[in-house]
Structure 1
Amino acid sequence: MSKPQVPYIPGEIYHVFNHANGWELVFREEENFRYFLQKYGEAMPPLLETLAYCLLPNHFHSLVRVRPKETLAVFYRQKHGLPPLSPGDAKGLAGPDFNKIVRQEFGNFLGGYARAFNNWHERMGSLFMQNTKRKLVGTPQYFKNVIHYIHCNAMHHDFVAYPEAWPHSSYHAFLSDKPTKLAREQGLQWFGGVEAFVQFHQKPPLPGMEELLEV
């Protein structure tokens, strides 16, 4: 029996990942990668702050922080046509099930991508594994190692020799000055700047990271 999923808690950071169903691919061509990120950027920023990601042909990884409960409550009330919260309205903050809100919206996002993918590639059936997995991330040092693991995942699966050689990850956004929806400044603070970020990614991953992340 699989372990119950940890709940999404406002303000907490999670490693989130999902895999294709069976031997399927979830990204077959460049347009699939682009469309996934476009729809993610439209659907999830009101709920999640994204700190890192990597898309591989048959799975994806991300590191996200759940937005504060005040932000989630505003999203919930707007979506359901409810009046805005009054300042200090503790009852309004206690009402919504924030874990359920985030789970449902993430599921809706993946479901929408899967329907578009099925139309493009003339396939039927589920594309992703039923349950998107998540692992609560605890300490700043752990944050750094999870980001390293995510950015080096294409290396781990022998697609490339260096993290910068894989185009479908947030590694490049950390090195760029271009506007981004990624929480770039927060991530760079953990590493101590761009130079330290690059140096950290030249190290091998910590032994046992897959077991620690329950991948």
Structure 2
Amino acid sequence: MFKVRFKRNRIKDLKYLRNVILYIHLNPLKHGFTDNYQEYLYSSYKSILSSKPTILKREEVIEFFDDKDNFIHVHKENEQSDNFEEIE
């Protein structure tokens, strides 16, 4: 029998959306799948920063963090964080 392993939470505000993006990008690092989340093959992190064509809403994601520099800064600042709820 299949078991539901994931729960869904409605994203209601920008702060929570930023936290979800950080969680997704940093999760492979936290769980030991990679030593470098920036180069992790199955992550959108590198695509968000790239200028190559993509179907991702790159500009929108960057705007959630104000700009590319802040997107990078916030990720680096939270590499060791386990509590994404407090991330501003």
TM-score, normalization by structure 1 = 0.35
Tell whether 2:88 aligns with 1:207: no
Structure with more strand by fraction: 1
Q: C-alpha separation between the residues in 2 aligned to 1:191 and 1:208?
A: 15
What do you get for the CA RMSD once the two structures are aligned?
2.3
| Equivalent in the alignment of 1:133 | 7
Q: C-alpha separation between the residues in 2 aligned to 1:184 and 1:131?
A: 29
What is the DSSP-based 3-state SS (H/G/I as helix, E as strand, rest coil) of the residue aligned with 2:63?
Answer: helix
| Equivalent in the alignment of 1:145 | 19
Q: C-alpha separation between the residues in 1 aligned to 2:47 and 2:22?
A: 14
Tell whether 2:37 aligns with 1:163: yes
TM-score, normalization by structure 2 = 0.78
| Equivalent in the alignment of 2:55 | 181
Task: Identify if the C-alpha distance between structure 1 residues 192 and 206 changes in structure 2 by more than 3 Å, giving closer, same or farther.
Answer: farther
Task: Identify if the C-alpha distance between structure 1 residues 133 and 178 changes in structure 2 by more than 3 Å, giving closer, same or farther.
Answer: same
- 1:165 deviates by 2.6
Task: Identify if the C-alpha distance between structure 1 residues 144 and 206 changes in structure 2 by more than 3 Å, giving closer, same or farther.
Answer: farther
Task: Identify if the C-alpha distance between structure 1 residues 158 and 131 changes in structure 2 by more than 3 Å, giving closer, same or farther.
Answer: closer
Structure with more helix by fraction: 2
Question: How many residue pairs get matched?
Answer: 83
Which letter maps to 2:72? Answer: V
Where structure 2 has 5 or more consecutive residues not aligned to the other structure, the ranges are none
Match of 1:198 among 30, 49, 72: 72
Kept in 1, the 8 Å contact 2:25–2:43? The answer is yes
What is the DSSP-based 3-state SS (H/G/I as helix, E as strand, rest coil) of the residue aligned with 2:10?
Answer: strand
Where structure 1 has 5 or more consecutive residues not aligned to the other structure, the ranges are 1-20, 22-125, 210-215
The runs of at least 4 consecutive aligned structure 1 residues that moved more than 3 Å come to 129-133
Q: Matches of residues 21-40 of structure 1 in structure 2 within 5 Å?
A: none
Please list the CA deviations of residues 80-138 of structure 1 after superposition, one character each: whole Å capped at 9, or x if unmatched: xxxxxxxxxxxxxxxxxxxxxxxxxxxxxxxxxxxxxxxxxxxxxx7xx5576321112
Kept in 2, the 8 Å contact 1:145–1:206? The answer is no
- 1:152 deviates by 0.5
Percent identity between the aligned chains? 31
